[in-house]
Every structure is written in structure tokens, then in C-alpha cells.
Amino acid sequence: MTRRRFAISGLGLGAALAAASAVGLGALPARAAEPVDVVASFSILGDLVKQVGGDAVDVHTIVGPNIDMHTYQLAPGDSKKLLGAKLVVINGLGLEGWADRLIEASGYKGKVVVATTGVKPLARPAAADDDDEDEHHAAGDHDHDADHDADHDADHEAHGHHHHGPNDPHAWQSVANVKIFVANIRDGLAAVDPVRADAYRSNADAYLKKLDALDREIRAAFAPIPKERRRVITSHQAFRYYGADYDVTFYGAHGVGGDSEPDAKSVAALIRQIRHDKIGAIFFENVAGERLLERIAKETKAKVGGTLYSDALSAADGPAATYVDLMRTNTTSITTALRAAGG
């Protein structure tokens, strides 16, 4: 036995491993590949990256749970999150007005996935009081005055607000759109980490099946409620894609950005519309203030239906910690309120 040990020790490393296997010592374990560092612009995208990437990714988000994307101001440490990143994922459609500045400041030179690539966007509504019953079915009518828009944009820039341009950026409120998001994320991960491309495709396929089931679940929840009674007031116009998919009309007290207070005329028009259309449900949002909606609810006697999750997930221990949970929670809240209001 002693001679055998000396004989093995005299072999090259490869031969020694083979010999060890032959005598039952087994092969050395292969070293697992390091996770891919991915930066997502906000919490909802972060969850989608995790669903596709699984254990193969480390995900860092710029804007975390329960934080308003529309008023977010970059922090000094945000650019550091891109150091070492292999992939950056943003929403696009003008949501992240700071994305180019962040990438430039960080020196990041890698791949950027725009999750909404391939999505057919809805047009940004002109103003909260311009919305009508059928707006969510159409691309939207633009009767802005060009000079007014230019002044409005300049004012928003001066106050640190983010103007979204001609499109409504809240495309994630459509399950069908998120299926496109998932495909774009899958392809982005496969491009930067081709060794695990098959795993990303498998994860994406499994998640797409979950999204199909979620869509069927939402449609079933609304089926008993007449379409003419599916009217809801929210803090800002974040749910028009959801409305287009499920025949729900959303009226926003604020516009798409939710970062400016409507004038008295706009509020008065909204109150008249609530009374005229007998809208019975008002919802707060996890990222928006409640003062204006409390006033509207008091004046119209409309019932407050709770909180909807619009632009951010909840905390990990909350009811909307994942995208699927967010859509399921919102649907339950909306349909419960509409039924209670006689929908």
C-alpha cells in the first residue's frame, strides 16, 4: 500500500485525479460559476430579473420598494451600484429620466436592456381632467399647446421632476406587456452569460406560464362585474394599461407623473365626474400622498377601497413583494370595492 501511494504522488495532476477516481476517492467538485451582477432601475424590474435569473444573478435596484419613481432623486451612492455590473435593466418610455446621467457618472460600458422594447405604448394623457370613459382603450388624444408643454417641461426640470414625454411609461401594469419584459430580460442575461443561457430560458418559460395563469385569474375576477361599473379613482394615472386589458376605467387625481398638484378647476371637474358616473371606489397608492384623495372622498361620499401598488413593490413582508403578488393584490382590492359599491 505504501508503494501505491508513492506511485500516485509521482503522477501528474490529471493522472492523479484519474487514479484517485479509480480507487474510489472520487473527483474534486467543480467550482460553481459566480452570480451575474445586475442593476435594475426599480423594484418591479428587480423582481422580474430575479424570476428569470434565479440563483445565477445578484440583483441591485436603484429605486426600492414603496418609493415613487416619478420624484426619485439620485443619491451619491447610486452610481456605485453599477460598479462590477454585467447588465443594467431599465423600463424605458421616459420613466427613468436620470438613467443616462447615472450610467455616464458610473462609467458603466456594459449592456443595457430596455424592458419595454417591443411594447406598444399608450400615449400620455393630456391632463387628469381630460380623461374620459374610453380613454384607456385609445392611444390618447393630444391637444396640448406646444408652448405650454415646453414651459411645463422646463418647470419640471427646474424642480427636479421627471417629464415622461409622449408615452405613458406604466407598461408593467399589463401582464401581456410584462411577458415582453421577461423575454427581453431573458435575452439580455443570455447575452452576458451565455454559459447559463439554457437556464435563463427555462426559468423564463416557467415564469411566462405563471403570467398566463395570472392573466386568466384577473379576467375571471372581473367577469361578474358589468363593464359600465368598472370605474375607479386613483392617486395618479398609473393603471391605464391595466384598464385597457381588463376594461376598467381609471381616473387619476394627478396625471401620469403624479409629481404635481392639480389646480382647483381640475379637482372640481373630477368631483363632478365622480358624482355623474356614480364612481364608488377611491384608492390610495403606496407611493403617493393621500391628502387630495381624502378630500375628494369626503366631498363625493365615495368609499375608500384601500391601497393599490402602482410604481413599486411593497416591502418583503408586505402583500405585494413580487410582481405576481402586486397584480393579484390590486385585483382583489379593486374587484372587492366594485362589488361593495354595487358593481
- How many whole angstroms separate alpha carbon 122 and alpha carbon 100? 23
* Contacts for 299 with CB less than 8 Å, ≥ 6 apart: 271
> What pLDDT is recorded for position 255?
52
> What pLDDT is recorded for position 11?
40
DSSP lists the bridge partners of residue 123 as: 167
Closest CA to 35 of 15, 70, 60: 60
Closest CA to 341 of 244, 240, 228, 251: 228
> What pLDDT is recorded for position 157?
37
- How many whole angstroms separate alpha carbon 101 and alpha carbon 76? 12
What residue ranges in the chain does DSSP mark as E strands? 36-42, 57-63, 87-90, 111-114, 231-234, 249-252, 281-285, 303-308
> What pLDDT is recorded for position 224?
96
Closest CA to 313 of 56, 59, 57, 36: 59
First to last CA, the chain: 85
> What pLDDT is recorded for position 289?
56
> What pLDDT is recorded for position 254?
61
> What pLDDT is recorded for position 155?
39
Query: Please, what's the largest Cα pairwise distance for the chain?
Result: 98
Kindly list the averaged pLDDT for each block of 10 residues, start to end, along the chain of length 343.
Answer: 42 44 43 88 98 98 94 92 97 96 96 98 68 34 34 37 74 98 98 98 98 98 94 88 96 58 72 77 74 74 83 97 98 93 66
E strand or H helix that includes residue 156: helix 146-158
The model's pLDDT over 1-24, given as tens digits with 9 standing for 90+, comes to 444 443 434 444 444 444 444 444
> What pLDDT is recorded for position 267?
75
The domain limits of the chain are: 1-31
pTM given for the model:
0.78
